[in-house]
Structure 1
Amino acid sequence: MQVRPISPDNLAELLADRIAALPDARGRRLRVAVDGAPAALPGALADALVEPLRLRGHPTLRVSADGFLRPASIRLEYGHQDADAFHDLWLDDGALAREVLDPLEPGGSGRVLPSLRDPATDRSTRAPYTELPPGGVLLLDGALLLGRWLPLELTVHLALGPAALARRTPADQQWTLPAFARYEAETGPAATADVTVRVDDPRHPALVERP
């Protein structure tokens, strides 16, 4: 395994090239996930891919997994700061697959619901369906996405060492750290993802290249 420093701009270009080179990228809809703890800023990397992909002829649709959390009655059944519930129960992966990923299968309708529930109000966002054309790319960001058998063409994991994760996680979110430790131990996201990027210092990411 080699670790190669790369600038944020070059990382976005490299990933855009990788996405555009996926089999039948012009003829089908592609589903790409950027996985990482909030402190790793997966949404920022997903946002950074929009323009490079547009320049390569691929329209994009941005979706955040935070828009597909289960109702508060389920998420908070064991309290507001239960790390195991955060790991196991918060993400409604069934709804995410049904409303976002499955419609982008070959022969699917292409109609995606960009968000289901506002986590702050615990109410439906009433977002309208959006159609992603063939050749389009769904860019999904979120935490704890891998190991759930979600249908994805490419997965990117933003890795933080334990010290960096603890340092960059706000005080009111420190209770989530055991969930990410469990994710590392049980899922091994760095080995599971198609692409892993170390982001202990977000200004100086490093690409992990496996033989």
Structure 2
Amino acid sequence: MHLVTTPRVTFLRQLSDEILLRYGRGRMIVAVDGPFRSGKTAFGDDLAEVLRERGHRVFRASMEGFHRSRAAQDAFGDDTPERYFRYGFDESTLRRVLVEPFRMGGSTAFVTAVLDPSRDAWIEPRWITGPPDAILVLDGRFVLRPRLAELWDVPIVLDGDPVDPADVIAYAESDPRDGDVVVVDDRDPEHPRSAGAWRG
């Protein structure tokens, strides 16, 4: 499928080419972080489409599908931005049912979501498989936090200062724009631009 060429698609094609040049074949995970409502999911969707246009098998997932249930979050105390930042997502399940089996390749099955946070309801697991050469694009808040950083081949962060209280806490502890990451200014979604790619 050939996408209609727009400034956004042109930028994403250039980014995709650089990603593929660096990482070649095999299983690869691209993670997209950024402040609340910065457009992470839309950016991940569009990047995945461009990678598919390049002929790759691409899977999509979001940290939204790995929320802890409200009851599970309540076990960590009162509902505060601090609690949400530290315990809002089930990182153990993310590793166990998505990242680790995806990395194994072959016929090992993985799951791209376990919870619907809008309904606070568990999703019936849908185990899927892929070819040895495949790319997973994962978006979500706090996905580039230090304790998850080693999981990703390509860390991308959408530029912007934190405003949401949970993001303020996260960025004070570890700004995802620092380090060896791809920084993208997507504040004008029709005309994204590099804001310091591959620096570090």
TM-score by length of 1: 0.80
Which of 59-68 and 179-188 deviates more? Answer: 179-188
Match of 1:171?
none
Match 1:96 to one of 94, 97, 119: 94
1:157 counterpart SS class? strand
Contact 1:72 1:122 in 2 (8 A): yes
Match of 1:19?
19
In 2, the alpha carbon distance for the partners of 1:187 and 1:55 equals: 34
Report whether the alignment pairs 1:187 with 2:187.
no
In 1, the alpha carbon distance for the partners of 2:116 and 2:59 equals: 18
Match of 2:61?
63
In 1, the alpha carbon distance for the partners of 2:31 and 2:128 equals: 18
In 1, the alpha carbon distance for the partners of 2:78 and 2:188 equals: 32
In 2, the alpha carbon distance for the partners of 1:121 and 1:33 equals: 25
Contact 1:33 1:154 in 2 (8 A): yes
- Residue-by-residue CA offset, 1:146-186 (whole Å, 9 max, x unaligned): 12225111110012134xxx4xxxxxxxxxx1211122121
TM superposition shift of 1:198: 2.2
Aligned pairs (5 A) from 1:1-211: 7-23=7-23, 25-26=24-25, 28-77=26-75, 78-80=77-79, 82-106=80-104, 109-146=107-144, 147-150=146-149, 151-162=151-162, 166=163, 177-192=164-179, 194-209=181-196, 210=199
Contact 2:36 2:167 in 1 (8 A): no
Specify the code of the residue in structure 2 equivalent to 1:178: P
Which consecutive unaligned segments of at least 5 residues does structure 1 have? 1-6, 167-176
TM superposition shift of 1:189: 0.3
Specify the code of the residue in structure 2 equivalent to 1:190: R
In 1, the alpha carbon distance for the partners of 2:195 and 2:61 equals: 25
TM-score by length of 2: 0.84
Query: Superposition RMSD on alpha carbons, in Å?
Result: 2.2
- Residue-by-residue CA offset, 1:99-149 (whole Å, 9 max, x unaligned): 111112255654210111111232221031111211111011111111222
TM superposition shift of 1:75: 2.2
Distance verdict in 2 for CA 1:190–1:12, change over 3 Å: same
Specify the code of the residue in structure 1 equivalent to 2:148: W
